[in-house]
Amino acid sequence: MPALVRKKILVKGVVQGVGFRPHVYKLAAERRLAGWVKNDAAGVTIEAEGPGAAVAAFIKDISSRRPAASRIDSVAVSPARARGEKSFVITKSGGKAPAAAIIPADLALCADCRREMLNPADRRYLYPFTNCTNCGPRFTIVKSVPYDRPYTTMAGFKMCPECLKEYKDPLDRRFHAQPNACPVCGPAVKLSYGGKTFSGSAALAKTAALLLAGRIGALQSLGGFHLACRADKPAAVKALRAAKRRPHKPFALMLPSLAAVEKYCFISKAEAAALVSSEAPVVMLRRRATPFGEPAPGLARLGVMLPYTPLHAALFSELAQKGFSGPLVMTSGNFRDEPICKDVPDVKSRLAGVAAFSLSHDRPIHNRADDSVAFEAAGALRLARRARGYVPAAVRLPAAGPSVLACGADLKNAFCLTRGGEAFLSQHIGDLSEPLNQEFFKETLGNLRGLLKVSPALTVHDLHPDYASSAIARALPGKKLAVQHHAAHALSVAAEYGLKGPFLGVALDGTGYGTDGAIWGAEFLVFKGKTWRRAGHLKYFGLPGGDIGALEIWRPALALVKQAFGPGWRGKAGRLFCRVPAAKLLTVERMLDAGLNSPRTSSMGRLFDAFSFISGVRPEATYEAQGPMELESLLSGRLAKPYPFAVGEGREFELDPAPAVKESVLDRLAGRPAAHISARFHAGVILAVADAAGRAARAAGLRAVCLSGGVFQNRVLLEGVSAALFKNGFKVYSNRQVPANDGGIALGQAWYALKGYRPA
């Protein structure tokens, strides 16, 4: 008989809440090994005993045959004393291991659970909380590690005998599924409408009937409430827009299946894979000619998701029984950029004037999380908003370091906590000018610090002295470090890819505070060693009124037209501004001439705003980047002859848009359509940015280029600049794991601190 050996095995990564212990149990049973497995603060710890060959094969199996939702970062093996045990067990969680466990993100409803809950003969038929080890709530219900039911918001639900039997059966896919539940013992839904209350299946049936009738409802999902209505009912969508004071901003849609989505949108393989993935984000899809335009007016793409919870699946099943298989608007249950509502009192206080009814449940949400938003560009799926399904998954860093808190920016805020060689970004927080979001930031920071068990040695914030995120950082104890906005954008890419050598960062966005006190926004930055410097930028122009120029987009257009044409601009371009009240136009012109409340800016975002005005798309915007998004939506097929930009020389060059402004104005006054101007503008920006980046990189002896900033969410721009640089021999990197917009900037701030960067 072969000698027995025993090994202690520590597995780190995403190994809690993904069926890892049951999986290990089954592997041990296959090899006829004895020992135990448990969750602890470090991850999953195993002791396995048996013949040496069997133990070695078992250790290999741990990595090669892992559960689909898991991620293994390391497997550490050490010898242990053989004990002669006869069985392998899942033992009680706990221990004194250093904190290293990672809580998985929430997992969308799996195919097995979907089949069960849509089967009328199954005991979980249309049960809105069906789950197993492969799907269900994770991050949104967990309070602390290790990930066990007593440490989640499921603690108050005692499993019935049938659920407990599944939970204890090694051959059942609900073996040690912490949120396991059924209609007998689990959470339940409740509908409140017109002073009446409906429960269980009656609540679902009534909800479906109300939606079909065109009513607006608040529906409690995984990480918060949605506001829902029929997307094919113009009156319902119009009423929702009026109630949310959101006249044009696109609403996300939910459809019951991929087949249903294909009726409204074109879907690539990558987009289809994202829709049905365990992350289940909202995916931006190119729309077909559809009979309704209210969910996304003026845009070529629709934000679409599939039912990712059993509650959504049950609701669509009820709708199907009533003959409806179309889209529902499924937008965040909030106002403007406030946090998403997460409980009934929150809904009553904030959404009472919006929702005619509410469908809620009694499983509390501990960590609120909005839907993630993704799009495909340049051959990869990219995130525009990182939240449910992706948080709290870590970005792996190439080297470990002390714990750092990076507070991010003010718009699209998300913060970042590092632990060793991992960077954990929070879910999307939102605009920190909203007091409720500042409270959400602090609440989430407390929750995430508790889960990760870290005390940051350094707090990093944006260079802008008046940012709310900077004020929050300054109020925290310990050392502080201010980081320039666009340097952080570029470094977010470097951190994602673990770049070790020098590179050129190209950061194109709306606005960020510069080291010279100006408002930067189109920056070419050289990173060498531990220093960075500005190699070039878009030529400064005045931004009359400051941030209001992002909405009254004729303002940056006026500044650029005056700068391009000079004192005689009215005789050459004055007709463009005929829709702007004359007195207001004169006042703003005088502001520019006097330099009054007209900060200098190099913003690419405001340049796109200005060209959306010049092209005739719109004079004002009702939401951020509306003009540029509509301008991009006009594009089809090949781009036209590019508008020219002038590129200066020297150590810090300027990219001058004046030639492009002049030609675009002449095109508009000659009656050229907005689509023509858009095509020429996009072609011109691609050529100018790629040429300027190439010059700057070659001058500094660099071969790698990192592209970041919110303007690079424009697919045409990202793909065009990437292709041009690649063609000229450069290695091109761009954000994938975190958004290119300000939602990813905290990662760059953290990397700046960990690497010890400083201005050259």
3-state secondary structure 92-115: CCCCCCCCCCCCCCCECCCHHHHH
pLDDT score for 16: 83
- How confident is the model at residue 335, as a pLDDT? 85
Is residue 753 included in any domain, yes or no?
Answer: no
Residues 116-128 have a mean pLDDT of 97
Structural domains counted in the chain: 3
* Residue 286, pLDDT above cutoff 90: yes
Q: Where are the alpha helices (DSSP H) in 213-303?
A: 234-244, 258-262, 269-275
User: Are 64 and 120 in a shared domain?
Assistant: no
> Residue 41 pLDDT > 80, yes or no?
no
My answer on whether 73 and 219 are in the same domain is no
Q: What is the mean pLDDT of residues 93-113?
A: 79
- Please tell me whether residues 548 and 604 are part of one structural domain: yes
pLDDT tens digits along 584-612: 999 999 999 999 999 999 999 999 999 99
pLDDT computed for residue 291 by the predictor: 63
In degrees rounded to 5, what are phi and psi of residue 254? -120, 130
| Residue at 749 is within a domain | no
Q: What is the mean pLDDT of residues 264-269?
A: 96
Tokens of 97: 């291991």
Residue 182 falls inside a structural domain: yes
Q: Residues 299-306: what's their mean pLDDT?
A: 96
- pLDDT at residue 102 is higher than 90: no
Asked whether residue 60 falls in the same domain as residue 17, the answer is: yes
In a domain, 382, yes or no: no
754 is a domain residue: no
Locus of tokens 């005998």: 161
If asked whether residues 53 and 129 sit together in one domain, one would say: no
Lowest mean pLDDT among 56-60, 89-93, 576-580: 89-93
Closest by alpha carbon to 452, among 415, 398, 487?
415
pLDDT at 258 over 60: yes
Lowest mean pLDDT among 127-131, 323-327, 490-494: 323-327
- In terms of C-beta density within 10 A (0-12 exposed, 13-18 middle, 19 or more buried), how is residue 272 classed? middle
CATH of the domain at 553: 3.30.420.40
- Per-residue confidence (pLDDT) for residue 14, from 0 to 100: 84
Domain boundary among 327, 353, 376: 376
For the record, the structure tokens of 377 come out as 């560009």
Q: Is 77 in the same domain as 111?
A: no
Binning pLDDT at 50, 70 and 90, where does residue 70 land?
A: confident
Domain containing residue 344: CATH number:
3.90.870.30
In this prediction, residue 95 carries a pLDDT of 63
| pLDDT band at 100; cut points 50, 70, 90 | low
Closest listed residue to residue 49, CA positions, set 60, 59, 29, 35: 35
Asked if 223 contacts 368 with a C-beta cutoff of 8 angstroms, the reply is yes
What is the extent of the structural domain holding 248?
Answer: 103-265+274-282+300-376
Does residue 17 or residue 343 have the better pLDDT? Answer: 343
Q: Is the pTM of this model over 0.85?
A: yes
Q: What is the CATH number of the domain that holds 69?
A: 3.30.70.100
Query: Quick one: CA dihedral 714, 716, 719, 721, positive or negative?
Result: negative
Q: pLDDT tens across 337-388, in order? A: 799 999 999 999 999 889 999 999 999 999 999 999 999 999 999 999 999 9
Q: Indicate whether 441 belongs to any domain.
A: no
What are the pLDDT digits (tens) for 618-644?
A: 999 999 999 999 999 999 888 889 999
Name the pairing type of β-strands 458-462 and 404-406: parallel
Answer whether residue 415 shows pLDDT above 70: yes
DSSP letters, 648-700, are: --SSSEEEE-HHHHHHHHHHHHTT--HHHHHHHHHHHHHHHHHHHHHHHHHHH
Query: pLDDT digits over 204-239, tens only?
Result: 999 999 999 999 999 999 999 999 999 999 999 999
Strands of 88-90's sheet in order across? 71-80, 4-14, 43-51, 34-40, 88-90
pLDDT interval class at 576 (50, 70, 90): very high
Residue 136 pairs in a beta bridge with: 107
- In this predicted structure, the answer to whether residue 241 has a pLDDT above a threshold of 60 is yes
Task: Please say whether the beta carbons of 368 and 347 come within 8 A.
Answer: no
Residue 417 lies in a domain: no
Which residue type occupies 297?
P
Instruction: Please provide the average confidence, as pLDDT, over all residues in the chain.
Output: 94
317 with 184, same domain: the answer is yes
User: Is residue 386 included in any domain, yes or no?
Assistant: no
Task: Give the Cα separation of 466 and 519 in Å (integer).
Answer: 13
* Same domain (yes/no): 304, 176: yes
The kind and range of the H/E element at 590 are helix 582-594
Q: Examine the domain organization and report whether 580 and 714 are in the same domain.
A: yes
- Please indicate, yes or no, whether residues 36 and 143 belong to a single structural domain of this protein: no
Asked if residue 347 and residue 219 are part of one domain, the reply reads yes
627 and 541 within one domain? yes
For residue 292, name the pLDDT band (cuts at 50, 70, 90): low
Q: What is the total residue count of the chain?
A: 760
Domain boundary among 349, 376, 403: 376
pLDDT band, very low/low/confident/very high, at 432 (cuts 50, 70, 90): very high
